[in-house]
A and B are shown apart, each in its own frame.
Chain A
Amino acid sequence: MSRLLTTSNLSRRGLIAGGAATLGGLLVSGCNRLATAPTALKLLGSAEGLTMASQRFILSGQPLAREFSAKDISANFKVNGSSSADSDEYSALLASGFKDWKLTVSGLVQHPLAISLAQLKALPARSQITRHDCVEGWSAIAQWTGPQLGPILAKAGLQRGARYVVFHCADDLEPSLDGTGRYYESIDLFDAFHPQTILAHTMNGQPLSVGHGAPIRLRVERQLGYKQAKYVMGIELVDRLDKISGGKGGFWEDRGYEWYAGI
């Protein structure tokens, strides 16, 4: 009797366990398909707007990102993303010490500019020791020096309708025939005119290395690492982002990451 009970209990338990495992498997694979469905991603993406709106509200006084002291600087700041730009054009610029490099400021501006590296270095510079936060989770600290973006944009003069600042870069982070693998980024005017938003030509007191984006990289301190575009060649003022490359406002944004990277 007790034996019979045990076996029947066991088989019933086995049946339940087996059923639960099958159901669990179905649920997991079903959930996973749902988890990556375009409609689901679109719905989930709605949180980005809420996050951005609330951060813009609390940051409306334009507070600065924390600045650290020299002793906090990372001994070995990791090179991430592209470690160089592979074009012949970039190689030639690098070989000549960026003598012939000119940063173009174009698009919805009143006076398009072409600024040489010497001119850029002659502009009043800001130095800041800040934390760089990669979307992957790591952080590194460095001192960045360069002119603020705001006065450069003011000098070019914004046309009515200019809403975004697009940074066109020299590096191809992904090989592509149509140019969609070329790195680019964009920020809006709120961040463009923030005092800590600079075009860094110097890192830890040394000219910016190739690995970190020579001759200049953007620093937009209240956002994640992928917004800090390296190898910046040109700045373009635009009214909308959907006509550029993948249309989402940046290399990583075109690959599913948030445009607003304050979180």
Chain B
Amino acid sequence: MTDAALPEPMLAPAQADRGDHEVIYRHTRVVRITHWINVVCILLLLMSGLQIFNAHPRLYWGQKGDESDHAFLSMLAYPTGEDTFRGETRIGDLKFNTTGLLGATVHENRGLPWWATLPGERNLATGRRWHFFMAWIFAINGLVYLVSNAVNGHFKRDLALSRGEVAPRALWRDILDHIRLKHPTGEAAKRYNTLQKLAYLSIVFIILPLMVLTGLTMSPGFDAFAPWLLTLFGGRQSARSIHFICANLIVLFIIVHVVEVFIAGVFNEIGSMITGRYRVKLGDHG
């Protein structure tokens, strides 16, 4: 690929010419391919997962849980008229009126609104089909990502934290830089910064594996094979709740991730995840 094919940074100052920038090869082919497959998987898993959640929008802690047990989170509908509802979300003892968004969409009794679920209308059977189909692709894709990057040294080279990086002072400086939306240039821009590494490490090695394990714990068949999962998570209903909480953490990660992509330069960032090439501004304070 030639330089001409490289995307222009969106907010490149007029005086910036090619001499001010350096192009580095940032993302390997396997990272780029697994990233975009993951984007599709996670979007469809989230939406089909919310369809499944809507079939029983209550969360419990422990082995069991139904209407007669205490739910620590619920999104329920209360009739207010012939075909109108008031949606109420309860978290612990707190009650929120969430009509139109959670619990009820005025005319329909449902946990999450239509635009958040796959399919849009209430259809648990189809939601489950989507969820389990995409779960297989997600798991295989994740395995390819983990094995290849463990072998090629990407994790050790680019994601592992050094002792210096996690020192309180360095960490504090990194947090301040993020709050000020200050982004590194030069040499520092070629590496992931500490908070970025922590975010990637926790999503790759904690949240997504937890998603798979808690998902499997909800399967009565898999439970017979691995009953220790029930012990680990404190029961099938606890696993279901952890699955939901981790799904929310994934959404949070995606929001921060996408906002950071926009702050750091949307064309350069997205372009680098397509072509692998990333433009770094040469800095004197890098």
Using CB atoms and an 8 Å cutoff, list the residues of chain A in contact with chain B: 28, 31-32, 35-36, 41, 43-48, 50-51, 55, 58-59, 63-66, 68, 72, 74-76, 78, 131, 133-141, 221-224, 252, 255-258, 262-263
Binding site for A on B (CB under 8 A): 52-53, 55-56, 58, 63-69, 115, 118-121, 123-126, 128-130, 132-133, 135-136, 218-225, 227, 230, 236-237, 240
**Smallest CB gap from B59: residue in A:** A137
Q: Is the CB of A263 within 8 A of B119?
A: no
On whether A222 and B220 interact (CB within 8 A), knowing A47-B133, A131-B63, A257-B128, the answer reads: yes
Q: How far, in angstroms, from A134 to B64 measured CA to CA in the complex?
A: 11
Q: Which residues of A are found within 8 Å of B115, using beta-carbon distances?
A: 28
The complex places the Cα of A78 from the Cα of B66 at a distance, in Å, of 8
A136 and B220 within 8 A (CB) = no
Dominant SS among interface residues on chain B: helix
Expressed in whole angstroms, the minimum distance between the Cβ of B58 and any Cβ of chain A is 8
Contact: B64 with A131, CB < 8 Å?
Answer: yes
* A-B contact list, 24 entries, CB within 8 Å: A31-B118, A32-B121, A41-B126, A47-B129, A48-B132, A50-B136, A51-B132, A55-B222, A58-B222, A64-B224, A66-B223, A66-B227, A74-B68, A74-B69, A134-B56, A137-B52, A137-B56, A139-B66, A140-B64, A223-B220, A256-B125, A256-B126, A257-B128, A263-B218
Per the bound structure, the CA–CA distance linking A255 and B118 in Å amounts to 17
Cα of A138 to Cα of B218 in the assembled complex, Å = 10
Contact residues in B for A256 (Cβ distance below 8 Å): 123, 125-126, 129
**Bound complex: CA A224 to CA B58 (Å):** 18
Complex: how many Å from CA A222 to CA B236? 13
Q: Is the CB of A47 within 8 A of B66?
A: no
- B220 → A minimal CB distance (Å): 5
Contacts of B123 in A (CB 8 A): 36, 256
User: How many Å lie between the Cα of A140 and that of B220 in the bound state?
Assistant: 13
**Across-interface contacts of A59 in B (CB, < 8 A):** 221, 224-225
Please determine whether A137 and B240 come into contact, CB atoms closer than 8 angstroms: yes
Shortest Cβ distance from B119 into A: residue: A35
> Would you call B125 and A221 a contact (CB within 8 A)?
no
- Known: A28-B115, A76-B68, A139-B64. Is A35-B220 also a contact (CB below 8 A)? no
Could you tell me if A44 and B129 are in contact, using CB atoms closer than 8 angstroms?
yes
